[in-house]
């Protein structure tokens, strides 16, 4: 672990300087209908953008290279890996924060743009009002033929939402109807710290390397007392389950499924299985870790059924 | 145009239509820019304007002022408070530097909850007959 326990940052930083897009191509040539649509929305009546000698509004630079609803073209493996690392760490949301564009020559209808992007930098973990995450800056060179026509530096925050509203059923519950609080003590505090950072941490014995869960002060295998942690990758399968019908308890809305989930790392844990009706949960069903916010203070790891 | 000049402010009504139309015009189909439920799940009270639309509005604001002969060279913006439906953003600008050909205009856009955007726009103006005076 790093100084502040952010070993993820060290892994993310290795992607600096690596490509995020190689030989991307705009979906359409620069064209008058997209320009007109843009100008209508912006209320931009600049005559430079209409007529036989029209140029495209320079600020449209990025619009020509957006994937839209289609899959991305040319996205390089390092960028996919970087995004996957962030997603796994719970940074499932994204918001753009900075955009810097330089225009070397105007784009005109008929121009066909190509582009290459590089991961310029990744910030240390930052906590913002939106949530905690990492700023990722990419720089894109946009070309028409061999000529560089513009550069586009773009910064996004990939983050775990902080103000995520609790699920409908739990929102606005009176305090006595809220979920029971976990008992946090010296032995398991590290686990709950991990959960707050949307990381599911398993203990690993420093002597025999046996993984253990739930957290305990000593190893059940060799008796060793030293340990470090391993972050679960989040994949698992339902090892067993029960469906809770009765007795009713104010914080819960039965019926619901409780799974004993076998994690990919080999240990098992108990939690809710979500994303599937309670009576459709089955042994062997693949599930993926998710962090669910129940109220302002309580976030818990749960397991979402994976389609297929 | 000279350094220190202020551009007249421009008020932009942030309607749901502007947000969604701007997202579509810029081919940005991130759900937070058109799907209120998805936006709420991601911790936002409503849909909000995407950065490409803000960029386009900032560019338009400056070229509206300087006219069609100006050439945009650089637009650099940073976003802060989101533009949510129902709000109004007021764009303001001031000329930071102008050497007779290249101008740098500082732009801010404030809405009801704070500063949505700040940035600079660099543009060149076609050479004109030299202005009289010591400058």
Q: Domain span at residue B60?
A: 6-132
Q: Is residue B93 situated within a structural domain?
A: yes
| CA of A127 vs chain B CAs: smallest distance (Å) | 14
Mean pLDDT over A266-273 rounds to 95
Residue reference for tokens 């796994």: A88
- Residue of chain B nearest A35, judged by CA positions: B25
Nearest Cβ partner for A103 among B18, B53, B74: B74
Whether the per-residue pLDDT at A135 is higher than 50: the answer is yes
CB A82 within 8 A of CB A15: yes
Q: Is residue B95 situated within a structural domain?
A: yes
Mean of all residue pLDDT scores within chain A: 89
Strand partners, A300: A292
Q: What are phi and psi of A67, to 5 degrees?
A: -75, -25
Determine the 3-state secondary structure of B3 from DSSP.
coil
Query: What string of H, E and C letters represents the secondary structure of chain A?
Result: CCCCCCHHHHHHHCCCCCEEEEEEECCCCCCHHHHHHHHHHHCCCCHHHCCCCCCCCHHHHHHHHCCCCCCCCCECHHHHHHHHHHHHCCCCEEEEEEEEEEECCCCCCCCCEEEEEEEEEECCCEECCCEEEEEEEEEEEEEECCEEEEEEEEEEEEEEECCCCCCCCCCCCCHHHCCCCCCCCCCCHHHHHHHHCCCCEEEEECCCCCEECCCCCCCCCCCCCCEEEEECCCEEEEEEEEEECCCCCCCCCCCEEEEEEEECCCCEEEEEEECCCHHHCCCCCEEEEEEEECCCCCEEEEEEECCC
CB A107 within 8 A of CB A149: yes
Query: Are A63 and A141 found together in one domain?
Result: yes
Query: Are A148 and A48 found together in one domain?
Result: yes
Q: What is the pLDDT of residue A2?
A: 40
Domain end call among A197, A216, A231: A231
Contacts of A63 in chain B (CB under 8 A): 25-27, 52
Interface predicted TM-score (ipTM) = 0.92
**Residue predicted with more confidence, A248 or A224:** A224
Q: Domain span at residue A210?
A: 186-231
Chain CA centroid to CA B15, Å: 16
Mean pLDDT over A223-247 rounds to 93
Query: Are A23 and A146 found together in one domain?
Result: yes
Query: Are A221 and A244 found together in one domain?
Result: no
Q: Is residue A176 situated within a structural domain?
A: no
Question: What's the CA gap between B127 and B135, in Å, rounded?
Answer: 15
Per-residue pLDDT tens digits for B49-103: 999 999 999 999 999 999 889 999 999 999 999 999 999 999 999 999 999 899 9
Number of domains in chain A: 3
Residue reference for tokens 């590290």: A190
Query: Are A287 and A256 found together in one domain?
Result: yes
Per-residue pLDDT tens digits for A53-112: 999 999 999 999 998 888 777 788 889 899 989 988 889 888 899 999 999 999 999 999
Contacts of B42 in chain A (CB under 8 A): 92-93, 161, 164
Mean pLDDT over B3-32 rounds to 95
Q: Is residue A150 situated within a structural domain?
A: yes
Supply the CATH number for residue B89's domain: 3.10.129.10
Determine, for residues A99 and B74 on separate chains, whether the beta-carbon distance falls below 8 Å: no
| CA of A277 vs chain B CAs: smallest distance (Å) | 20
Determine, for residues B78 and A27 on separate chains, whether the beta-carbon distance falls below 8 Å: no
Q: Looking at the complex, does the CB of residue A148 fall below 8 Å from at least one CB of chain B?
A: no
Query: Are A108 and A69 found together in one domain?
Result: yes
Count of alpha carbons within 13 Å of A119, Cβ hemisphere only? 23
Q: Is residue B1 situated within a structural domain?
A: no
Supply the CATH number for residue A264's domain: 2.40.50
Tell whether omega for the bond before A247 is within 30 degrees of 0, i.e. cis: yes
Q: What proportion of chain A, given as a percentage, has pLDDT over 70? A: 94
Whether the per-residue pLDDT at A165 is higher than 70: the answer is no
Contacts of A106 in chain B (CB under 8 A): 71
Query: Are A124 and A223 found together in one domain?
Result: no
């Amino acid at each position: 672990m790093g100084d502040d326990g952010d070993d993820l940052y060290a892994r993310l930083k290795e992607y600096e300087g690596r490509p995020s897009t190689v030989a991307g191509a705009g979906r359409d040539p620069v064209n008058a209908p997209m320009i007109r649509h843009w100008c209508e929305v912006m209320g931009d009546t600049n005559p430079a953008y209409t007529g036989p000698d029209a140029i495209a509004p320079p600020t449209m630079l990025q619009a020509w290279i957006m994937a839209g609803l289609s899959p991305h073209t040319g996205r390089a493996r390092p960028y996919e890996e970087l995004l996957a690392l962030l997603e796994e760490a719970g940074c499932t949301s994204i918001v753009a924060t900075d955009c810097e564009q330089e225009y070397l020559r105007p784009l005109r209808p008929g121009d066909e743009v190509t582009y290459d992007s590089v991961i310029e930098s990744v910030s240390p973990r930052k906590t913002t009002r939106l949530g905690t995450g990492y700023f990722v800056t990419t720089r894109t060179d946009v070309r028409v033929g061999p000529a560089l026509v513009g550069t586009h530096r773009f910064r996004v925050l990939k983050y775990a939402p902080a103000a995520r509203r609790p699920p409908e059923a739990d929102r606005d519950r009176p305090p006595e109807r809220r979920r029971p609080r976990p008992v946090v003590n010296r032995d398991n505090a590290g686990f709950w710290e991990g959960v707050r950072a949307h990381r599911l941490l398993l203990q690993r014995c420093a002597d025999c390397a046996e993984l253990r869960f739930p957290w305990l002060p000593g190893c059940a295998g060799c008796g060793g007392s030293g340990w470090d942690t391993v972050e679960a990758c989040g994949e698992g399968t339902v090892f067993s389950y029960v469906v809770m019908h009765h007795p009713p308890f104010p914080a819960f809305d039965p019926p619901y499924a409780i799974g004993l989930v076998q994690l990919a790392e080999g240990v098992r844990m108990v939690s809710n299985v979500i994303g599937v009706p309670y009576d459709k949960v089955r042994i062997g069903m693949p599930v993926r870790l998710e962090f669910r916010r129940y109220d302002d203070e309580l976030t818990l790891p749960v397991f979402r059924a994976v389609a297929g | 145009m000279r350094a220190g000049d202020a551009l007249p402010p421009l008020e932009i009504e942030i309607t749901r239509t502007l947000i969604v139309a701007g997202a579509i015009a810029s081919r940005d189909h991130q759900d937070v820019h058109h799907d209120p439920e998805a936006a709420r799940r991601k911790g936002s009270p409503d849909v909000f304007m995407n950065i490409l639309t803000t960029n386009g509005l900032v560019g338009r604001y400056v070229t509206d002022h300087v006219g069609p002969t100006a050439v945009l060279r650089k637009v650099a913006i940073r976003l802060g408070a989101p533009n949510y439906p129902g709000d109004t953003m007021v764009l303001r600008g001031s000329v930071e530097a102008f050497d007779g050909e290249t101008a740098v205009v500082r732009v801010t856009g404030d809405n009801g909850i704070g500063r949505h955007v700040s940035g600079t726009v660099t543009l060149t103006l076609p050479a004109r007959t030299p202005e009289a005076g010591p400058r």
